[in-house]
A and B are shown apart, each in its own frame.
Chain A
């Protein structure tokens, strides 16, 4: 599994992501700059990390979504290559057209930074095979714009075609109500592309890979990916 992490001006979770990828795959990811035009040959997985690319100017992820490297990322995804976007990376994937919908300001207008349970909706994808279906995992969230919105047709399609990857839930796995930290439609925390080779999610699994700091529920995602290629 050969991985690459794209660094934009204002990214700040790229080191955490590199650590998680190295732990799971046994080799360090290539770090790519946003102005690069190509991915290293043989890249299996491209990761867009969290942060505040371009200071969240205009809209979160809007300018990064149009950076030079994104043409290469789009081509990689079109070939069936794996793409993971976390937090700001999810916002960038939506702004770049690789995933539908948009991440809006949290419904309560507050930046939310806390531990959060998620329900793994399916475990037959390259990202989740090391989890159980409907397993509840505990990771963390840290965002001000994580309120997933899309038109009704898009939401119906995501639901109908099983493209919802993770939903916000409580520790018992119940979705909805106070377990939803940001007002997302249908408690959506992450979604797949049509071919399920692109995943965007707001929570940070890369920060839950060490029992010293909060738990290891995020490891499953990276171990799934490590075994995918």
Chain B
């Protein structure tokens, strides 16, 4: 089973990299960019076929390692 985990900064956490990208897009003339926040994507292949078990495993993976929950949120898509 394939899964995708998306880790993003919590709102309110300053994201200097996102700000720099936002500035670069504006300087390139890309119009309509209000703001940019940078995050991470993990594509994970799981051995089992049970969606609920997979979700629980990925939740553990996020809490233990993939996300620093002090500053980051995570979203699991199966």
Which A positions have Cβ atoms within 8 angstroms of B?
58-59, 62-63, 66, 95, 100-102, 104-109, 147, 149-151, 183
Do residues A101 and B68 form an inter-chain contact, with CB atoms below 8 A? no
Q: Which residue of A lies closest to B70 (CB)?
A: A102
- Whether A58 contacts B64 in the complex (CB less than 8 A), given A102-B71, A109-B20, comes out as no
Report if A59-B70 is in contact (Cβ < 8 Å); known contacts: A107-B14, A149-B14. no
Could you give 19 example pairs across A and B, Cβ below 8 Å? A58-B65, A59-B68, A62-B65, A63-B65, A66-B65, A100-B70, A102-B68, A104-B13, A104-B14, A104-B16, A105-B16, A107-B14, A109-B16, A109-B17, A109-B20, A149-B71, A150-B70, A151-B70, A183-B16
- Smallest Cβ distance from A105 to chain B, in angstroms? 5
A66 touches B64 (CB 8 A): yes
Q: Helix, strand, loop or mixed for chain A's interface? A: loop
The 8 A CB mask of B41-78 against A (1 = contact, 0 = none) is 00000000000000000000000111010110000000
Top 3 nearest A-B pairs (CB, nearest first) are A102-B70, A109-B16, A102-B71
A74 CB → nearest B CB, Å = 14
- Distance, CA A149 to CA B71, complexed state (A): 9
User: A109-B16, A109-B20, A149-B14 in contact; A104/B71 too (CB < 8 A)?
Assistant: yes
Complex Cα–Cα for A58 and B5 (A): 13
Q: CA A108 – CA B13 in complex, angstroms?
A: 15
Which chain B residues have a beta carbon within 8 Å of chain A's beta carbons? 13-14, 16-17, 20, 64-66, 68, 70-71
C-alpha gap A107/B19 in the complex (Å): 10
Per DSSP, chain B at the interface is helix
Given A58-B65, A62-B65, A66-B64, is A107 in contact with B70 using a C-beta cutoff of 8 Å? no
A95 B16 Cβ-Cβ under 8 A: no
Residues of B within 8 A of A108 (CB): 16
A94 to chain B, nearest CB (A): 8
Q: With contacts A104-B14, A108-B16 known, what are 19 further pairs, Cβ within 8 A?
A: A58-B65, A62-B65, A62-B68, A66-B65, A95-B68, A101-B70, A102-B71, A105-B16, A105-B17, A106-B16, A107-B14, A107-B16, A109-B16, A109-B17, A149-B13, A149-B71, A150-B70, A151-B70, A183-B14
Contacts of B17 in A (CB 8 A): 105, 109
CA distance A95 to B68 in the complex (A): 8
Contacts of A95 in B (CB 8 A): 68
Residues of the B chain whose Cβ atoms lie less than 8 Å from the Cβ of A149: 13-14, 71
Asked whether, in the complex, the Cβ of B66 is within 8 Å of the Cβ of A58, the reply is: yes
A188, chain B: closest CB distance, angstroms: 15
